[in-house]
Each structure stands twice: as structure tokens, then as C-alpha cells.
């Protein structure tokens, strides 16, 4: 059978793929054919609510979708769900789908996202041990939270902390966090700011065990009943959620012979084009020459996937843009604390505002230059931080910390 011809093929039905398809239509007009192929049963949706509002039962599935189902038909964007791209031949510009259909395309976007990192320890196959990436995972955790009272979270970063807050606030589950680092979020934000978020969790009754490495899970033959760490700490529980990071899903890209970067992503230029012309990448897998950071950069954030999907679409339409957006991230610990972050980067921490009052910005300075910034209740400071990160002036830490300083004057 002759392959089906499309102008634009989008591989991966996550946020990057969805927003790329949207902009291909919005900017490219109605005459082009667009096909989006996604492995999951659902049409594209936003993942952040899976550890927040959707897990808490505050947001419905419809609210979490990228667009309502009928929108895709209105836009004349063909969506194939429950379908994987199994093979990509960049030279022939042909993709082979899991149902054996062949698609011949003019230009393609690879947006295959991430897979969760899995623990391989004794007891890891017991029931009641969850990972969180897709709708079904969030629903399974919620079902356990509605039936059981004690959870252990493995990992002290976004997933562990957000899920602990959601389960405590919305479902009254007793949560304990077990993590390698001394304080929550330490590798990302440092001890001082990480300690602030740990304090918020502890104030709400969540126990945090820092500096602990998981040894094994124990169970009753079927379900998990206990978490045991290498130091001998034992915590009884009814279920576990593991949040220990993700790895980019580059199987298809590798098999297609596309270059893979030092950060494990699909290597792209500043315009998000891969090592093969007319094939682009966006979202969690995209490792691009960042004009902002001046180095290969790969970031696993919602906002980055969203914006890269848009840049890739414009470039698939021949605009030749550089992706020069300063990466942005947000996270909520129930309605106890919200953070926003621009970066990524590390350095000496300068606090503007008050950790005690829970209203502050943290700037991360390396050799006098702002590399990243985080805000709790001081969003306006992030506008200045974005400018510092892209224009790279030397700024005085004491002036930054002084609430009397107008940041626009620096």
C-alpha cells in the first residue's frame, strides 16, 4: 500500500506536540495536512494537575485536557491516539506506525517526552507502589488515597513534595518523605530555600527523612506494607509513590540515527532542528543550543515544552527563529505555598524579602551574574530576573537583597 502523505507529522501527543500542531494550523493556514500520533489513550493533556488539582479531586479530566476533543476536528488536525511511531526514516521522510501504516511527511516534530526512572530493589513489584506520569497513574494513587491512610513518598523533589501535599490536604493521608538529600529540593534550590519548603510540609504534619537511601520494600505477599532504608529506618505504610526523576524517551530518535547530546536528549540547534534537516524536536527530549545559556540545554518543564512546541512550529513553517525564551517553572504544595522559577542555574543564594514571612525571591549568583531566580509571592521580581539572565549584567548582591532597591535600576 502506498504511504499516506501528510505535510506535517507530530510524533508524541504531549504538550510540546499539541502546541506545535496548534501553531502549525494557526500560523500555517488551513491548506496543510497535520497528523499527530500519540501512544496514550487520551488526547493531549496537561500533566501538572496530575500531582495537584486532579489528584486532589478539584479538577476534572475535561479541565486538564489541552483542548476539548472537538477542537481537534474543528482545526482539521488528525489525531491518532493509542498509536506509536515504531520507526522513523529521516532520509526517506517516512514513519512506520504500530498498526503498520506508513506515513510520508514533509517535515516532522519529535516530542516523545520522558519516562519515569524506576527503582530496582527487593519488593519493587509489590502492589501499592506507584509512579506518576499519566492520567491512569494519578487515578490509581487517588483510589489508594481514598481507601488507605498512610503513604510514603520516595524522593524529595517536585513529585514527592507535591504529591505529599496533595494527599495530606485533600485526602487526609499521613505522609512521610524518604530522600537522599538532607532537605527537600536541595539540589535545585540549595539548603536555605529547600529548607523553607520542607518547613511548610512539616508544619502540615508531613514527616521528612533526609539523608536516607532506600534498601527495600516489604509486603504481605501481595501489597507493600513497609519501606526500609539502608540506615535501618522502617516505616509502615499502605501505599508508596516514587518520584525519583525521569529520562528522555529517545529510543525512536536513536534508532533513526539522529544525534544524541551530552544531556541525553535529541541534539538540536538554536532553532530546535535536529541533526537531520526538516526534523525538529521539542519538550523534555530537546537538547538545544540555548542562546540564553550559551550551552546545550535540556529542561523538563511544562512551560518549556509549550514554548518550544511553538518555536518548532514556526520553524517548520520556515521562519528561522532562535528559541531564546528564558525557561520558567512553577510548582504548588497544595494551597500552602506556590513557587515560580526562572533558570536553570546555580550559585550563591541572595534572598530578597523574608523566608519567615513566606514572601521572598531567591537569586542565584555566579561571579556577580544572576543565573536563576525563584519566587514565593514575589512574581514581579522574576521579570527583572529574566532580564538579568538574558542580558547578563554584573549585579550587586547587597543591592538585590535590599527591598528598597528598584530592580529595574540595576
Ligand X SMILES: Cc1cc2nc3c(=O)[nH]c(=O)nc-3n(C[C@H](O)[C@H](O)[C@H](O)COP(=O)(O)OP(=O)(O)OC[C@H]3O[C@@H](n4cnc5c(N)ncnc54)[C@H](O)[C@@H]3O)c2cc1C
- Name the residues that contact ligand X, by CB under 6 A: 11-17, 37-40, 47-48, 50-51, 84-85, 111-114, 132-133, 159, 249, 252, 283-284, 300-303, 305, 329-331
Please tell me the distance from the alpha carbon of residue 362 to that of residue 193, in angstroms, as a whole number.
8
C-beta of 165 vs 384, nearer to ligand X: 165
- Residues 334-350: b if buried by 16+ CB within 10 A, e if exposed: beebebbbbbbbebebb
DSSP state for residue 43 in the 8-state scheme:
P
Smallest gap from Cβ 272 to ligand X, in A, equals: 12
Smallest gap from Cβ 258 to ligand X, in A, equals: 13
Cell of 128: 501499592
Please tell me the distance from the alpha carbon of residue 227 to that of residue 233, in angstroms, as a whole number.
8
C-beta of 130 vs 301, nearer to ligand X: 301
C-beta of 214 vs 266, nearer to ligand X: 266
Cell of 390: 538574558
Smallest gap from Cβ 40 to ligand X, in A, equals: 4
C-beta of 246 vs 317, nearer to ligand X: 246
Strands 359-366 and 348-354: antiparallel
Contact 372, 341 (CB under 8 A): yes
C-beta of 289 vs 303, nearer to ligand X: 303
C-beta of 17 vs 156, nearer to ligand X: 17
Smallest gap from Cβ 342 to ligand X, in A, equals: 11
For 243, the 3-state DSSP assignment is: coil
CB atoms within 10 A of CB 176: 18
C-beta of 18 vs 407, nearer to ligand X: 18
Smallest gap from Cβ 377 to ligand X, in A, equals: 17
φ/ψ of residue 385, rounded to 5: -60, -40
Strands 239-242 and 150-154: parallel
Cell of 152: 510514603
Residue (of 36, 40, 41) closest to 16 by Cα position: 36
Smallest gap from Cβ 297 to ligand X, in A, equals: 14
Smallest gap from Cβ 103 to ligand X, in A, equals: 11
Amino acid at each position: 500500500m502506498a504511504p499516506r502523505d501528510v505535510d506535517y507529522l507530530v510524533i508524541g501527543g504531549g504538550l510540546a506536540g499539541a502546541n506545535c500542531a496548534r501553531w502549525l494550523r494557526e500560523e500555517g493556514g488551513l491548506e496543510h495536512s497535520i497528523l499527530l500520533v500519540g501512544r496514550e489513550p487520551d488526547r493531549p493533556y496537561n500533566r501538572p494537575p496530575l500531582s495537584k488539582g486532579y489528584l486532589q479531586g478539584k479538577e476534572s479530566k475535561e479541565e486538564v485536557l489541552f483542548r476539548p476533543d472537538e477542537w481537534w476536528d474543528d482545526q482539521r488536525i488528525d489525531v491518532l491516539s493509542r498509536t506509536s511511531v515504531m520507526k522513523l526514516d529521516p532520509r526517506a521522510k517516512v514513519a512506520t506506525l504500530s498498526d503498520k501504516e506508513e506515513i510520508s511527511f514533509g517535515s516532522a516534530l519529535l516530542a516523545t517526552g520522558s519516562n519515569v526512572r524506576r527503582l530496582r530493589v527487593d519488593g519493587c513489584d509489590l502492589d501499592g507502589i506507584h509512579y506518576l506520569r499519566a492520567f491512569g497513574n494519578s487515578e490509581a494513587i487517588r483510589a489508594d488515597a481514598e481507601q488507605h491512610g498512610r503513604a510514603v513518598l520516595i524522593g524529595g523533589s517536585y513529585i514527592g513534595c507535591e504529591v505529599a501535599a496533595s494527599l495530606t490536604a485533600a485526602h487526609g493521608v499521613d505522609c512521610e518523605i524518604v530522600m537522599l538529600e538532607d532537605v527537600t529540593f536541595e539540589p535545585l534550590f540549595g539548603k536555605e530555600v529547600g529548607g523553607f519548603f520542607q518547613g511548610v510540609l512539616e508544619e502540615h504534619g508531613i514527616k521528612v527523612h533526609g539523608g536516607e537511601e532506600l534498601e527495600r520494600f516489604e509486603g504481605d505477599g501481595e501489597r507493600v506494607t513497609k519501606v526500609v532504608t539502608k540506615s535501618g529506618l522502617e516505616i509502615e505504610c499502605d501505599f508508596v509513590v516514587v518520584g525519583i526523576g525521569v529520562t528522555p524517551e529517545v529510543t525512536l530518535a536513536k534508532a533513526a540515527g539522529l544525534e544524541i547530546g551530552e544531556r541525553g536528549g535529541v541534539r538540536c540547534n538554536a532553532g530546535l532542528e535536529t541533526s537531520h534537516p526538516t526534523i525538529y524536536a521539542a519538550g523534555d527530549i530537546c537538547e538545544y543550543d540555548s542562546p540564553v545559556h550559551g550551552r546545550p540545554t535540556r529542561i523538563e518543564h511544562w512551560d518549556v515544552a509549550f514554548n518550544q512546541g511553538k518555536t518548532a512550529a514556526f520553524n517548520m513553517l520556515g521562519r528561522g527563529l532562535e528559541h531564546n525564551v528564558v525557561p520558567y517553572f512553577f510548582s504548588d504544595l497544595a494551597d500552602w505555598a506556590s513557587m515560580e522559577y526562572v533558570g536553570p542555574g546555580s550559585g550563591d543564594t541572595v534572598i530578597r524579602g523574608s523566608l519567615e514571612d513566606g514572601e521572598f525571591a531567591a537569586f542565584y549568583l555566579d561571579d556577580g551574574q544572576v543565573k536563576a531566580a525563584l519566587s514565593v509571592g514575589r512574581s514581579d521580581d522574576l521579570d527583572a530576573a529574566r532580564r538579568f539572565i538574558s542580558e547578563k549584567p554584573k549585579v550587586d548582591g547587597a543591592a538585590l537583597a535590599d527591598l528598597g532597591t528598584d530592580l529595574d535600576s540595576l
